[in-house]
Structure formats: structure tokens, C-alpha cells
Amino acid sequence: MSASFSSRTIEALSGLVFPWVFLNLSASFIPGTIKDIFSTHGFVPGLRIVLSPSRFREVWFGRFWAYVSPNIRMNAGPLVLPLLDGRVSRGRVVEEPTGPGVGGVVLEIGPGSGLWVNLFSDRCLYEEDTSDAAAQKQQGGNTSLQKRANTARSKVTRVYGVEPNASHHAALRRSIEAAGLKDIYEIVPVGIEDLSSSSDTGRKKWEGSIEPESVDCIVSVICLCSIPDPERNIHELYKLLRPGGRWYIYEHVKCDYSWYMRLYQRGINLIWPYLIGGCELCRPTDTTLRETGPWASIDVGQPPIDNPGRTPFIPWYQCLPHRIGVFTK
């Protein structure tokens, strides 16, 4: 048996087993979450949270996601940063921008604990200047910065982070402060379905407002899998985007490459949403976006996996295939 055959077999098996490991990891957070709720809130209020499936799920998912976030950032960071630079085309990261990057008024959907918040900072426009002239200037001890040549971003003037799970808010606030975005980043503490709707008492769930066609960019990173009624809510978001505005996505979607992977994914999805904060595996999110309204251009594809020593490839055993790219209205 050749080394490459055995390493490919191990790779495929780990791809197939990965969702079960992730589910198991999430389930392992249940006892700690219960303990944490009682020690933070006391017995009676704690019991109320533990007995409320939706509130318990929020706290549980908040703790679990904070734990896995650094890994997600490590794996997806090399894709999401170029995406917001305008350097992703047909699912691949390219050297030079092929379209505009993020900028202006931005709607970040489901920012969670703020894993991607620093990407909206002006600091992302700069890199260390390694030229000789800069080195001479640096002898005084100051690092010299220069504007990155490979980005087509413009200044982000306002960000609305639509995050209904209050247990993410403290960490999200810390990420906003650390990125120096306190003055422009607003946490919108409701789901996208409540951006403009009223509650039973006739009061709006969020007092602010976002006018139709007023948003320059929407950014959704691994979150459209978790929103309710995706067709309706994606269309509501589409209406907020201005003509010429861009929707940057990095989302996992339904398997469509073979009947056995479709079946396997559906099988996992019988329990996945209950253990992973309501996330649905089998959503055709890219198709829903394509069909939600007219787009001037769509540049979206499946990112290949980079394998050292081999050409990038799209594996058949991928239970969470992703789509990355930009929809321009």
C-alpha cells in the first residue's frame, strides 16, 4: 500500500469522523455550562435558564463557540481576510484584488464573540514597511507602516453587528474595543428577523433602524446556517443593500456532490442543530442568495483545500462544504 494511498485514506476517514468529534466536543460543554449558570445566577434564576431550552442553548453555544473560535480563525482566517480585501475569485484566493473590498456602512451578521471584528479596523489596511528607507527610519525604535498594496478595501465608516445571543455580547464588546472600533461598531442585540419588526406589545425589539438600500456591504461568516426562515430573512437583508453594494459570504452549505455524502450529511443533521446552537448543515445558502433578487454579478465558489506538496483539491468526503465569494447587487 503506497504512502499516499494510506495518507489519503486517513484524510478521508478523518473528514468523515470530524463532525462526530465536533458534536462530542460540544456535548462535553453541557455539565460545565450548568455549573457556570448556577454559580453566576444563583439557584432559582439559574434553574429558570437551565429549564428554558432556548436560553440554555444560547449560553451553552456561547461557551462552546468561545472555545473553538481560535481554531476556526486559524483555519478560515487565510480565506476571510482576502475575501474582505477583494482578493477571492471563483472560490480561490488570488494575488491581486479582482473587485472592491469591504468598506463604508457594513452589516455583520451573527458576529458571535467577535472573531472577525478586527478585520473592519483601518489597521487591516496597513502592514509593516520592510523597505530600506523604512528600516533607517525605524532605527529610532518606531515601527514604520505602509498601506498594503494587495487590498481593495476602503474605510469602514459604520458597522452594525446583528447578534441576538446575549451570551456573546461581553466578548464581542471586548473584541470591538481591542480593534479600536468603539466609535463605529454598534451591537444590534436582536436577530435579523427583528431588525424592523415589532413585538407583541407593539414596541420594536430594537430601537435603531437601518434604511432600505443604505448598506454598502453585508458580511456573513458561518452564520446563515443558524438564522430562522432563511429565504425570507435573506431577502429582508437583500433589501437593505444599496444597488452596487456587496454581500461577502463564507458559509457552509448542503452537500451536492454524491448521493452518499448527501445522505451522510442529512443523517448527521438529525442531531447537529440540537448540539451546535441551531446550525443547519443541509442549507443551499448560496442558491438561496442567488435566487433572492437580481444581482449585477456573482463570484462565488467552493474553496479548495491546500495540501502541502499536492495541488489544492476539493475532497469528496467534505461533510461541511463551504462557499466563499461576493454577490454584487
Ligand X SMILES: C[S@@+](CC[C@H](N)C(=O)[O-])C[C@H]1O[C@@H](n2cnc3c(N)ncnc32)[C@H](O)[C@@H]1O
DSSP string of 17-63, one letter each residue: HHHHHHHHHHHTTHHHHHHHHHHHH-HHHHHHHHH-HHHHHHHHHHH
Considering the complex, what minimum distance in angstroms separates the CB of residue 178 from ligand X?
15
* Of 86, 112, 245, 321, the one binding ligand X by CB under 6 A: 112
CA dihedral 111, 116, 122, 126 (to 10 degrees): -170
102 vs 109, which CB is nearer to ligand X? 109
Judge contact between 151 and 101, C-beta under 8 A: yes
Residue where the block lists cell 415589532: 198
22 vs 327, which CB is nearer to ligand X? 22
Rounded to the nearest 10 degrees, the angle between the axes of helix 30-41 and helix 43-51 is 140
Confirm or reject binding of residue 159 to ligand X (CB under 6 A). Answer: no
Q: Strand 92-93 and strand 241-252: pairing?
A: unpaired
Confirm or reject binding of residue 168 to ligand X (CB under 6 A). Answer: yes
* Of 59, 107, 115, 249, the one binding ligand X by CB under 6 A: 115
Confirm or reject binding of residue 192 to ligand X (CB under 6 A). Answer: yes
Judge contact between 306 and 2, C-beta under 8 A: no
Q: Which stretch binds ligand X (CB under 6 A): 2-10, 187-195, 253-261, 309-317?
A: 187-195
228 vs 244, which CB is nearer to ligand X? 228
Q: Strand 126-128 and strand 145-147: pairing?
A: antiparallel
Confirm or reject binding of residue 324 to ligand X (CB under 6 A). Answer: no
164 vs 297, which CB is nearer to ligand X? 164
Confirm or reject binding of residue 119 to ligand X (CB under 6 A). Answer: no
- Give strand ranges (E) for 232-313: 241-252, 297-301, 305-307, 310-313
Q: Which stretch binds ligand X (CB under 6 A): 18-26, 104-112, 280-288, 307-315?
A: 104-112
Considering the complex, what minimum distance in angstroms separates the CB of residue 13 from ligand X?
25
Considering the complex, what minimum distance in angstroms separates the CB of residue 192 from ligand X?
4
Separation between Cα atoms, residue 215 and residue 40, nearest integer Å: 38
37 vs 227, which CB is nearer to ligand X? 227
| Angle in degrees, CA 103, 106, 109, rounded to 5 | 135
Give the x-and-dash track for 224-253 against ligand X (CB under 6 A).
--xxx-------------------------
Confirm or reject binding of residue 283 to ligand X (CB under 6 A). Answer: no
Confirm or reject binding of residue 222 to ligand X (CB under 6 A). Answer: yes
Report how many residues bind ligand X under the rule CB under 6 A.
23
Query: Cα dist. 96→78, 275, 300 in Å?
Result: 15, 40, 17
Residues making contact with ligand X (CB under 6 A):
65, 69, 72, 109-112, 115, 162-165, 168, 191-193, 221-223, 226-228, 279
